[in-house]
Amino acid sequence: MYKFEHVRHKPPTELKVERLLIVACSPLRSHVNLSTIFRTAGCCGVREIIATGNAKLIGKIARDGAEHVRLTTKNSLIPVLKKLKQEDYTLVGLEQTTNSTQLSRYCFPKKTVIVVGSEREGLSQECLDLLHAVVEIPVWGLPYSYNVATATSMAMYEYCRQHPAG
């Protein structure tokens, strides 16, 4: 029988270049969801989250992300998306639509904004009209969609899996 040594809390993998991934959030009802997204962003090496509405972080949840992630708050998502589009970011919505692509089949460009809708309403049609692509995560049970923080975490992970060095 083989014996494997496991070392707990190994240091993070170093990014060779800064990640060109931004997360842009519609107004979220729950500060818990935004704080969870923020913490996951820190783990993924994301440098900026743009939040709209009454954005507030809960320190116990967001915790270590604050050292690495900048939270920018804006009044409206549409002008932010238009500006990022002009800066040659690819805008990728996280939503279930008639022509969305399964997350596991989508190839993220390096310079990407993951656009996240609110918990109940999702992304507005005005936001959807600005996007380059829409990805969805298949659901095999009820409810019909994942929690916004869970889905955003899955999307950030998939981006990082495709671009592990930054």
Residues 20-62: pLDDT tens digits?
Answer: 999 999 999 999 999 999 999 999 999 999 999 999 999 889 9
pLDDT tens digits, one per residue of 103-155: 999 999 999 999 999 998 999 999 999 999 999 999 999 998 999 999 999 99
Judge whether 11 lies within some domain: no
Domain of residue 129, residue span: 21-162
Please say if the pLDDT value at position 66 is more than 90.
no
With respect to residue 109, please indicate whether it lies within any of the assigned structural domains.
Answer: yes
Q: Supply 76's token pair.
A: 């409206």
Mean pLDDT on 73-97: 97
- Work out the average pLDDT over 60-82: 90
What is residue 13's predicted lDDT score, i.e. its pLDDT?
79
Q: How many CB atoms lie within 10 A of CB 100?
A: 18
Tell whether 128 is covered by a domain: yes
Nearest to 108 by CA among 84, 132, 137, 87: 132
For residue 15, the model assigns a pLDDT of 83
Query: pLDDT higher for 3 or 122?
Result: 122
pTM: 0.92
130 assigned to some structural domain = yes
Which pLDDT score is estimated for 4? 77
- For residue 116, give every residue at least 6 positions away whose Cβ sits within 8 Å of its Cβ, in sequence order, or none: 23, 24, 25, 26, 28, 37, 94, 123, 148, 151, 152
Q: Is residue 63 part of a domain?
A: yes
Residue 2 lies inside a defined structural domain of this protein: no
Provide the pLDDT for residue 58. Answer: 92
8 is a domain residue: no
Count of the separate structural domains present in the chain: 1
What per-residue confidence (pLDDT) applies to 1? Answer: 66
Inside any domain, residue 6: no
Domain containing residue 95: CATH number: 3.40.1280.10
How far apart (Å, rounded) are the C-alpha atoms in residues 114 and 9? Answer: 28
Report how far residue 152's alpha carbon sits from residue 114's, in angstroms, rounded to the nearest whole number: 8
